[in-house]
Amino acid sequence: MPLINETHQANLQSWLPSAQPTGIDFPIQNLPFASFKRKDNGRATCGVAIGDQIIDLSILSTKDLLSGLALEAAKAASSHQLNALMALGTAYWSALRLALSRALRSDASALVQAQLAECLVAQSQVEYALPAQIGDYTDFYTSVHHATNIGKLFRPDNPLLPNYKWVPIGYHGRASSIGVSGQSFVRPKGQIMPPGATEPIFGASKRLDIELELGIFVGAGNALGQPIAMTQAEDHVFGICLLNDWSARDLQAWEYQPLGPFLAKNFASTISPWVVTLEALAPYRVAFNRPESDPQPMAYLDSAHNREQGAFDIQLQVNYLTPQMKQSGLAASTICQTSYQHAYWTIAQMVTHHTVNGCNLQAGDLLGSGTLSGPTLDQAGALIELTAGGKNPITLANGETRTFLEDGDTIILKAWCEKSGAARIGFGECVGTVLPAK
Ligand code: MN
């Protein structure tokens, strides 16, 4: 199936006024999915964003607008979360996308427009839930720049471990503490080994950090014992959201050897409500380049498709909002801007490597990309890198400085794709706030 189709055409226009302006996140070419509930009615259901509205898929599936696979897909999404839709696979997701695209176009019939209008809910009138029941969460480490920067701070003599350029490194994280944008979480406490001390102390983390990541939602899973080959890997991916993997660096430094992150990471992780499908991202695929001087991916992690267009040029941004900025009504201060195209391993390689030993992925599983730092320091996706381990505070737009997160601070992640000849699409926001330790 061709990756680019009629739903990607940059000149498509919707009859919906709020989907018209350029520069918005949710034009007719995007059509991302979320779970939401109306503020005046507690029932959660799934929907698709268009302009400043949501198409309620549980209402849509009762109308006479869809048929075939698209109707089956909308029925599967007439649930409080997206797992059943995710499990159906690419043919269903694609059929629903095409049907919605056609029904939203300015040349749709008056009857179609009237029926679809009855399915719309204003985004301002809803609260979001987690898009899926996340059975398992695995966090990767796919930025070689982040791995090198962090490695220098944790192991100055041995920054990048020798396995990094061969193995897509990851660890199994905790799904229960993943929350949706708007999440507030309590500053974690734990064991900390102060510099120069011989025994650890117990207390609240003083080096609480962010991690700018993308979250990859698994669609149809695989049976236990049945690896997913590179040529099929992307068929098992439903879409991508934003992910902030909050990290307590002082807890991490003391606990991480020998088995990796544990309490430094599992107290909270925040994702954006909207999941942008891989199909919507097709115009933003780019070649996956591995420097010639580096080991090339082993055969099981290689494919022609992956080399030609396995990476994605997604613009990523971290914005910082302090309590003082909130009080003064100031806008958040941008502290990092980078692109996903710098990642050392692709989404397909993450899926294939995760299953190569027979491990089974399930619909709704979440794979974190790892902190997506780019090649230069202003492209670093964590405070520990931006401040050189807390030594060089960053200065925000209003003159305040920070090394690590302070109580009341809010972080807003954003992502979008744009280039000439394609419609700009966005991911919305991923917002989280630190509460004082208890
Ligand atoms: Mn992480």
CA of 142 to the centre of ligand 1 (A): 10
Over range 374-400, report the average pLDDT: 96
CA of 217 to the centre of ligand 1 (A): 15
Distances in Å between the Cα of 120 and the Cα atoms of 64, 66, 129, 378 are 15, 16, 18, 40
Of 101, 129, 157, which residue constitutes the final position of a domain? 129
CA of 212 to the centre of ligand 1 (A): 8
Q: What is the pLDDT of residues 30-88, one digit of tens each?
A: 999 999 999 988 789 999 999 999 999 999 999 999 999 999 999 999 999 999 999 99
**Domain identity same for 117 and 158:** no
Helix-strand-coil percent breakdown of the chain, rounded to 5?
25, 25, 45
**Is 146 designated active site?**
yes
For 99, the domain range is 6-129
Of 129, 151, 179, which residue constitutes the final position of a domain? 129
pTM here?
0.97
Pairwise pLDDT comparison (1 vs 115), residue with the higher score: 115
Q: What is the pLDDT of residues 107-142, one digit of tens each?
A: 999 999 999 999 999 999 999 999 999 999 999 999
Question: How far apart are alpha carbons 73 and 89 in whole angstroms?
Answer: 9
**Domain identity same for 65 and 162:** no
CA of 414 to the centre of ligand 1 (A): 17
The CATH code of the domain that includes 99 is 2.30.30.230
**Domain identity same for 302 and 418:** yes
User: What is the C-alpha end-to-end distance of the chain, expressed in Å?
Assistant: 53
Q: What is the pLDDT of residues 233-263, one digit of tens each?
A: 999 999 999 999 999 999 999 999 999 999 9
The tokens for 163 are: 């396995």
**Domain identity same for 298 and 162:** yes
Residue 1 pLDDT? 66
Domain assignment present for residue 1? The answer is: no
Single-letter residue type at 367 = L
CA of 26 to the centre of ligand 1 (A): 27
Write down the catalytic residue from 8, 80, 145, 146: 146
Question: How far apart are alpha carbons 151 and 41 in whole angstroms?
Answer: 49
The CATH code of the domain that includes 366 is 3.90.850.10
Q: Which of 384, 389, 364, 361 is nearest to 373 (CA)?
A: 384
Judged by phi (left if over 0) then psi (alpha if -120 to 50, else beta), residue 111 lies in alpha
Tell me if residue 26 falls in helix, strand or coil. coil
The tokens for 278 are: 């891989």
CA of 369 to the centre of ligand 1 (A): 7
Alpha helical stretches, state H, 181-299: 230-233, 249-255
**Domain identity same for 279 and 203:** yes
Q: Residue 170: enclosing H or E segment and its boundaries?
A: strand 170-172
CA of 153 to the centre of ligand 1 (A): 16
**What residues contact residue 27 under an 8 Å CB cut-off, 6+ apart?**
12, 14, 19, 50, 51, 423, 424, 425
Asked if the model's pLDDT at residue 355 lies above 80, the reply is: yes
Of 129, 150, 181, which residue constitutes the final position of a domain? 129
CA angle 56, 273, 309 (to 5 degrees): 105
Question: How far apart are alpha carbons 370 and 168 in whole angstroms?
Answer: 10
| CB atoms inside a 10 Å sphere around CB 242 | 28
Residue 248, strand partner residues: 208
Residues 411, 211, 270, 21, CA torsion sign: positive
**Domain identity same for 30 and 118:** yes
